Amino acid sequence: MAEQPATEPGSPEDFDRQPAVARLETDWFCDGCGYNLHTQPVRRDTRTRLLLCRCPECGGLQAVRNGTTAGRAWLHRLGMLGLFFWILLLLGLVFGFGSAQLVVTAGMLEELTFYRPVNVAPAPPPAASAPTTTSTDTTAAPPDQIVRIGDVTVRAPSVPALPGSTGNRGTTTVWRRTVRAEFEHQTFFMILMRGLAVVAGFGLIALLTIALHHWPRWGYAVPAVLVPLVLGYGLWYFWCAEYPHLRDWATGHIAWNTVAGLAGGLAAVFLGRPFARLAVVLALPPRIRQVLAFLWLADARMPPAVSAGE
């Protein structure tokens, strides 16, 4: 049997036979082609005893430990400053997408209602022998605009009464929120608002899947469900406290927008990073994509390769 020719110490074949002592757990880019060496095996060269990593694209060896210089120290400080501003930007975007879900629903309710003046007659004083009771007087208000009148005060779920504005028979004019009559393109407007709620929910969770790519997938489902529910309940509670006569009407609209935001968030749990990868491939050149290789590695996918001419 013919013997296999021996390989020279330090040759590429000899290097590849060495056992891997570790794997790169951070982004490290090949000097030759720019490929991201994240997850590649690290081996010790038999001649120099240096820790090296072979690029799977161009085959070049890359040192995985560099000396510290004054320039690197300043780059590190600038990197920490950039990280601080990145965290601020991330928090601002999360707050913005979360607020967008609330603003969309509140804006829709505002657009579908308006204030109109209502004349309210004060209740007569109670008789001395009769017990104090709370009466309901609807003679001065339209049938669909019942105003609760107590013994000494007039309670209307609206802005305060206009100063000095009294009508005949001692009535007082108050502004009361009322549902607007159906207007042109109202159906399109409501579909648009619910579509924006879906986009806001999708954007929030998609941002989390990118910025917090180390989370398990169920970790994104928790805010996808909790954020719309908490915001929807908070808006519903405020609306019912301010305008109890519109409680039933508002409940349906708030519930549908909450479901829309929840659906968008749950869709982003599975489609957030794929959508981001598609945007990166379409918008960025191959070499710059390597900086965002974590979008592929987080889902156990290989990042896009970089050819020698790119």
Dump pLDDT digits (tens) for 173-204. Answer: 778 888 888 878 888 999 999 999 999 999 99
Res 140: pLDDT: 43
pLDDT at residue 71, rounded to an integer = 64
Determine which of 7-16, 66-75, 229-238 has the lowest per-residue pLDDT on average. 66-75
Query: Do the Cβ atoms of 239 and 110 come closer than 8 Å?
Result: no
pLDDT of residue 2: 45
Of the candidate ranges 47-51, 118-122, 190-194, 206-210, the one whose mean pLDDT is the lowest: 118-122
Dist CA 172 CA 192 (whole Å) = 39
Mean pLDDT of 138-163: 40
* Residue ranges of domains in the chain: 7-84, 93-111+184-297, 114-179
> Is a pLDDT exceeding 80 seen at residue 159?
no
pLDDT at 198: 95
Per-chain mean pLDDT for the chain: 78
Best-predicted range by mean pLDDT (6-15, 82-91, 126-135, 248-257): 248-257
Q: Which residues of 34-50 are buried (b: 16+ CB within 10 A; e: fewer)?
A: bbbbbebebbebeeeee
Nearest to 29 by CA among 12, 13, 10, 53: 53
The residues near 208 (Cβ < 8 Å, ≥ 6 apart) are: 94, 215, 220, 223, 272
Please tell me which residue, 13 or 284, carries the higher pLDDT value: 284
| 241, two tokens | 């406290």
Residue 251 has a pLDDT of 93
Mean pLDDT comparison of 13-22, 150-159, 208-217, highest-scoring range: 208-217
